[in-house]
Amino acid sequence: MSPLSTVAPPTPKKASAVRHRLRTGTRYAPTLATLALFILMFIVGAGMYPSFLSGQVLLNLFIDNTFLIVLAVGMTFVILTGGIDLSVGAVVALSMMVTATMLQNGWNPAIVILSVLVIGGGLGLLMGLIIQYFDIQPFIVTLAGMFLARGLCYVISLESIPVTDPFFTGMAQARIPLSEELFISPGVLIALIVVGAAFFILHHTRFGRTVYAIGGNEHSAMLMGLAVKSTKVLVYSVSGLCSAIAGILFSFYSLSGYSLAAQGMELDAIAAVVIGGTLLTGGVGYVLGSVVGVLVLGIVQTFIAYDGTLSSWWTKIVIGGLLLVFILLQRLFTRRTS
């Protein structure tokens, strides 16, 4: 008898373990691919431009994209359930307009910030309720929310409103030193706190596990007794709250409120989340991957700025190409796990 014939076939338990490891590795693959792309782009940039290899260049990616990081966090919650939120850019603009108007009228900054958070979270909650209890597609409801929020911006003012409040100007100008040459802004700390809170909620709470379960299979999640209805409503409230925080951070960044601000930012947030490895069909993705996705978009803009000869529209072209590539990769990965 051949020695090979004595080798026992793998038991069902071992085969199941192998399949589980394969699925787990595949779940991480899109996010790891995004991280590898970011590192590669940074290395290429350092080779092309000597000043690119600087810690402050990396930190500037966070400083210049704090609002988009927070926006992508909220979008991650929604897309993980298989939904979409097209209203986030308009809610950012509305938050900026409300902030600038209230500050101009002498309101206390703390009350202004609290009011903006309530408005953002409330709009998200309203859209979530309509989506869930009237059984309307998220695309339609959030599109209506986008028009509503943008229209309210125009009602408030058609002109740019400057922000001169001492607290906001102080936040805009503040620098937190990390060393003699490196620094970050307070907005970066706020964004990182939001990311940390989102990571904890998604991976260490029942609500977070329900979010993943809904995206994986909503019917199965209901049969398991999970709070599907309330969770689907709350993820849109989370997205609205993150949009309001992003609006406040954008106010720190620009020290103004403008009704045309953040146009197309919802598409940037969706692109960052998808490039970061979150499946548009839901159930798979990580908030840290969305952060890396934002950094990839930021480093593309940095490349364009360093080159100096390319139009800013090349940023959109490159992002569009990356988005297409990562959607195709997602399709490949989902086929391997099926």
Is the pLDDT reported for residue 2 higher than 50?
no
Q: Number of structural domains, the chain? A: 1
Amino acid at 131: I
- Is residue 27 domain-resident? no
- Is residue 260 domain-resident? yes
5-19, 136-150, 152-166, 279-293: least confidently modelled range: 5-19
CATH of the domain at 107: 1.10.3470
The C-alpha atoms of residue 17 and residue 231 are separated, in whole angstroms, by 31
- Residue 307 sits in which domain range? 36-42+50-328
| pLDDT average, residue stretch 314-331 | 82
Number of Cβ within 10 Å of residue 279's Cβ equals 22
- Is residue 15 domain-resident? no
User: What average pLDDT is seen over the chain?
Assistant: 89
- Is residue 63 domain-resident? yes
- Is residue 195 domain-resident? yes
- Distance from chain centroid for Cα 303: 22
- Is residue 335 domain-resident? no
According to the model, what pLDDT value does residue 4 have?
Answer: 46
- Is residue 25 domain-resident? no
Q: What percent of the chain has pLDDT over 90?
A: 70
Number of Cβ within 10 Å of residue 308's Cβ equals 6
Bridge partners for 256 per DSSP = 162
Nearest CA to 109 out of 233, 13, 260, 251 is that of: 251
According to the model, what pLDDT value does residue 302 have?
Answer: 87
The C-alpha atoms of residue 247 and residue 255 are separated, in whole angstroms, by 11
- Distance from chain centroid for Cα 9: 46
The C-alpha atoms of residue 277 and residue 289 are separated, in whole angstroms, by 6
- Is residue 18 domain-resident? no
According to the model, what pLDDT value does residue 328 have?
Answer: 82
93-97, 161-165, 312-316: least confidently modelled range: 312-316
The C-alpha atoms of residue 158 and residue 99 are separated, in whole angstroms, by 15
Is the pLDDT reported for residue 91 higher than 50?
yes
8-state DSSP, 308: -
According to the model, what pLDDT value does residue 249 have?
Answer: 97
8-state DSSP, 2: -
According to the model, what pLDDT value does residue 13 have?
Answer: 52
According to the model, what pLDDT value does residue 306 have?
Answer: 81
The C-alpha atoms of residue 26 and residue 336 are separated, in whole angstroms, by 8
According to the model, what pLDDT value does residue 320 have?
Answer: 86
Q: What is the pTM of this model?
A: 0.90
